[in-house]
Chains A and B, each alone.
Chain A
Amino acid sequence: MENIRYDLITALPELFIVCMAMFILLADLFLKASNRIYIYGLSQATLLAAAYLTFSNHAPSVSYAFTDAFVDDAMSDVLKLMIYLGTSLIFVYSRQYLQLRNMFRGEFYALVLFAVVGMMIMVSGQNMLTLYMGLELLSLSLYALVALDRDNARATEAAMKYFVLGALASGMLLYGMSMIYGMTGSLNIADINHALMGETKNHAVLILGLVFIVSGLAFKLGAVPFQMWVPDVYEGSPTAVTLLISSVPKLAAFAFVIRLLVQALPTLAVDWQQMLMIMAVLSIVIGNITAIAQTNLKRMLAYSTISHIGFILYGLMSASINGFVYAMFYVVSYVLMTLAGFGIILLLSRKGFEAENLEDLKGLNQRSPWVAFLMMIVMFSMAGVPPTLGFYAKFSVLQAALQAGYLWLVVFAVLMAVVGAFYYLRVIKLMYFDEPADLKPIDAPLDMRIILSVNALALLVIGLMPQSLMELCIYAVTRSLS
């Protein structure tokens, strides 16, 4: 009895959000359309309360629950808090967009909250099945969210593509997990690690399983050569959903990689390092070069995401504590940048008008110097130009890679970063050097404007003082992995 109580308390934030999501789904049935704003308020309150629960439950030590299938450590708590923060920003940025497009419904909020729970389980999973369950909860919610605007053919197509490819990836992941299970006789992360110590005779089977696991992970991350779904899904989804897909799930995916590769399979590090290396280099090349050819802003950011994933893999492939810290720093920076970037796209959209082409940014400096300035910070940050956060993100992962001895890969990455800078500069060129084609004033709620400004300025401010964020990542990773 005592055990169950302990288990429940450890997973309290997850349980709380699940209950609230179901309550929201029910409550929505009894609310008039004009009162939907309460659903929004309730969702935000849920995240806030969950943040409180996570924060107050936090201890620097590692605690396990549900017969070691679930873990509560520093990394999971920090990432969960980031997930709440990111999701809360998504709610703020997407509210008006959804209202104007008749998508402001209870389902959206319930599905996003379910996705949040999925991410939390991915972050806290300590057993391959738990991890897989979290991933599926996240993915299924996302498939449904992409198709939320069900009369939109483009969105439906994107959802279909996402679903089919995602299911394939899940299958590969599961297959890989089953092989590892066959070799070790356990699904528990720590037990697998233990069983593989000194294991040499079944190396080939293990590697085969590893290949499947890494492919599945790469699919979910959107790393080359498993990136095909990314641009189509980004473009086809309603921008509010793109905002979600492109941002917080990467935090969960980071933890997922850490749990599976670093905690379960450190004995195979030499093998997965090589796989990550190939994917990292290809992602940076394909992401940066293909982005140049895009005219659609969402597609461009999709390719930009692929290249960022490449840089994150640079940190992970170093296979050192430093590398993981810096990869986490990169992921957090990436999420902040993406939230601000897509937030600005949402800000520029109006009723009946989607600001999704690069052309729509033309002359933004003359329409609204402030928004143009914010977007400029985001673009320079994505390009990795100091004094923005993106610079330290790139700087630190490259440092980790150099420390691991990948000198020429680092040189290659910086050359590709120059290629990448070109398309970010093009956005700035459109905003600052061109004459506006569209003079309609920007209409957005005050809370969104303020929070978006804080979000984008944070890229500059943290860029000037990155120490606290870095310390947080060091704390999270070293406490959980050492």
Chain B
Amino acid sequence: MLAYFTQHLLSFSVWTPILSGIAVLFTANDHKPNVTRWLALAGGILAFLVAIPLYTQFNFADGGFQFQEGFSWIPAFNINYHLGVDGIAIPLILLTSFTTVIVIISAWEVIEKRVAQYMACFLIMSGLMVGVFCALDAILYYVFWEAMLIPLFLAIGIWGGPNRVYATIKFFLYTLLGSLLMLVAFIYLYLKTGSFELMDYYRLPLPLTAQVLIFLAFFVAFAVKVPMWPVHTWLPDAHVEAPTGGSVVLAAIALKLGGYSFLRFAMPIAPDAAHYLSGFMITLSLIAIVYIALVALAQKDMKKLIAYSSISHMGFVTLGFFIFNNLGLEGAVVQMVSHGFISAAMFLCVGVLYDRVHSRQIEAYGGVANTMPVFAAFAVFFAMANSGLPATSGFVGEFMVILGAIQANFWYAFLASTTLIFGAAYTLWMIKRVFYGEIANANVAALKDLNKREFLILATLALLVLALGVYPQPLTDMTNASVTQLLSLLAQSKLPVGL
């Protein structure tokens, strides 16, 4: 039994949350929601525990895919159920499982209608996202990638804010458009290689035109998900309307799917196109970093502000990818994990306020620190982390990417570093208006400080942000070998010889 478990670690990580989600659906009874809640929590924790051996049994020296397993799934198309992870995927898988637990706890008393469906949505989504991070077969990956849209679509649409229908349909169609082009690219690659195996794609020589077209198809799919400027407009809408759990999952994990997929698919399959288009990608990243940070400065809605801040931070991730050096890539991976924690925490903070006052507008608040001192301490801490204060995880990733960028080109680094100023400006300005000053109105005066549940999740996240900021070594050790291997893959031209 134990041997079976260790041989199928990834399958367990994928299917435990999905099956517990389905089990939760069968406890649908809104009069006794606690059964559902505890069952969902048990499922979420179990899923996290199942994923932990991925870290403990990982071979740090090996940059290839580990824990591989698979069988032939649809022989008619040569599609395999093939799972495997490297050092880049594992941190993101752990992040996913962990965030799901946080989401379940954060929804505890907040979600009152259709609790079972809510919990099931997030558990199933968690399994599907883990699937995206470990699929090594293109169609398997695509199935997870697309299927994951369904629960998120429902979560935003059912439990979201007043304009939720617009936001969720926009989100779905935007993502679907990108994914379908990616599917065309996969079919093209299949016709070339006769297989949907990622490894076969890595080895396939392709002329530059084909590479550029493939890269662009992937680009549409992943840039929408990251999201990169100018296809980012669905994200603020989706964030504003999503319930807190939806925002957390979107920011902490869903965006990483796009970043991760660049590393796993677009860049190694079309390395020459990636180099060829790197100027374009870097420009888009820098626009996201600088311009979107300025947009964030102008926001009146807290969730929108954090959403724009997410886009700006994800700009760092894509910048790190396309400067093609060790420091930049590794920094980008650290930035993805760190942003997962910080943005989740920021959205949870807004959720705490929203649950009490039912407003996300900055102007509805003022002087919250007077009535909620403990909460204010957390919020200020996360705001500092978001603006990249040293000793928080936000600093590590950004700093590494900036160092990498200097190696590539001074001006990239210069423009990217402006975010340390802008980021601090929009975050701290929001904190100042919401938390400091006189108590603005009766709503704020009546606020109660954090309850135990909220304290628990914020404290956990704060510890993680701090730990990763002070001692990022476990994470970088994990990614190191894989990043080196990826870079060597990217350095090899795949153009057919003689062209």
Contacts and interface: CB of A to CB of B under 8 A. Distances in A.
Interface stretch (B186-194, B441-449, B472-480): B186-194
A64 interface: no
Contacts of A386: 142-143, 146-147
A387 B191 contact: no
27 contacts: A386-B146, A387-B143, A387-B147, A391-B143, A392-B74, A395-B139, A398-B187, A399-B77, A410-B187, A411-B181, A411-B184, A414-B183, A417-B176, A418-B173, A418-B177, A418-B180, A421-B172, A422-B169, A428-B157, A429-B165, A429-B168, A432-B154, A433-B164, A433-B168, A465-B73, A466-B74, A470-B74
A395 B187 contact: yes
Interface string A407-428: 1001100110110011001101
Contacts, number: 90
Contacts of B169: 422, 425-426, 429
Interface of B: 28, 73-77, 117, 139, 142-143, 146-147, 149-150, 153-154, 157-158, 164-165, 168-169, 172-173, 176-177, 180-181, 183-184, 187-188, 190-191
Nearest to A380: B150
Given A365-B158, A421-B173, A429-B165, 17 more contacts: A380-B150, A385-B176, A391-B146, A398-B184, A399-B77, A399-B191, A410-B184, A410-B187, A414-B184, A425-B169, A428-B153, A432-B154, A433-B164, A465-B73, A467-B73, A467-B76, A470-B76
Interface string A4-45: 000000000000000000000000000000000000000000
Given A402-B187, A421-B176, A385 B165 contact: no
A402 B172 contact: no
A467 B187 contact: no
Contacts of A63: none
Contacts of B146: 385-386, 391
A415 B174 CA distance: 11
Contact of A399 (B28, B158, B168, B190): B190
A398 B191 CA distance: 12
Nearest to B156: A433
A471 B147 contact: no
A474 interface: yes
Contact of B76 (A369, A407, A411, A471): A471
Given A402-B188, A433-B164, A385 B150 contact: yes
A403 interface: yes
B109 to A, nearest CB: 22
A43 to B, nearest CB: 35
A414 B143 CA distance: 16
Interface residues of A, number: 35
Contacts of B158: 365, 432-433
A429 B150 CA distance: 12
Q: Would you list the 7 A-B pairs with minimal beta carbon distance, nearest first?
A: A414-B180, A386-B143, A470-B76, A433-B157, A418-B177, A386-B146, A399-B187
Nearest to A395: B183
A48 to B, nearest CB: 30
Contacts of B165: 429, 433
Given A385-B149, A415-B177, A421-B173, A403 B28 contact: no
A419 to B, nearest CB: 9
Nearest to A411: B184
Interface of A: 365, 369, 380, 385-387, 391-392, 395-396, 398-399, 402-403, 407, 410-411, 414-415, 417-418, 421-422, 425-426, 428-429, 432-433, 465-467, 470-471, 474
Contact of B147 (A385, A395, A410, A418): A385
Contact of B191 (A395, A402, A429): A402
A433 B157 CA distance: 6
Contacts of A403: 191
Centre residue among A365, A426, A428 by max chain B CB count within 10 A = A428
B175 to A, nearest CB: 10
Contacts of A380: 150
B451 to A, nearest CB: 30
B165 to A, nearest CB: 6
Contacts of B172: 421, 425
Contacts of A398: 183-184, 187
Contacts of A399: 77, 187, 190-191
B217 to A, nearest CB: 9
Contacts of B164: 433
Contacts of A395: 139, 183, 187
Nearest to B159: A433
Contact of A467 (B75, B150, B180, B184): B75
A407 B76 CA distance: 22
A467 B74 contact: yes
Nearest to A429: B165
Contacts of B150: 380, 385
A365 B30 CA distance: 14
Nearest to A401: B187
Most buried by B among A365, A418, A426: A418
A466 B76 CA distance: 9
A476 B181 CA distance: 31
A385 B149 CA distance: 9
Nearest to B181: A414
Nearest to B160: A433
Contacts of A392: 74
Contacts of A385: 146-147, 149-150, 176
B74 A369 contact: no
Nearest to A396: B77
Contacts of A411: 181, 184
A474 B165 CA distance: 42
Contacts of A465: 73-74
B191 to A, nearest CB: 6
B343 to A, nearest CB: 26
A151 to B, nearest CB: 40
A365 B118 CA distance: 13
Contact of A422 (B117, B173, B190): B173
B168 to A, nearest CB: 8
A432 B157 contact: yes
A199 to B, nearest CB: 33
B368 to A, nearest CB: 32
A380 B176 CA distance: 12
A403 B157 CA distance: 38
B143 A417 contact: no
A408 to B, nearest CB: 10
Contacts of B191: 399, 402-403
B116 to A, nearest CB: 9
A426 B172 CA distance: 11
Nearest to A369: B28
A399 B139 CA distance: 13
A255 B139 CA distance: 30
A467 B187 CA distance: 18
A296 B143 CA distance: 31
Contacts of B153: 425, 428
A469 B408 CA distance: 53
Contacts of B142: 386
Nearest to B191: A403
A386 B182 CA distance: 14
A445 to B, nearest CB: 24
A470 B75 CA distance: 10
A274 to B, nearest CB: 22
Contacts of A422: 169, 173
A198 B339 CA distance: 69
B81 to A, nearest CB: 10
A391 B146 CA distance: 10
Nearest to B74: A467
A269 B394 CA distance: 62
A287 B180 CA distance: 19
A116 B345 CA distance: 62
Which of B28, B77, B117, B190 has the most A CB atoms < 10 Å from its CB?
B77
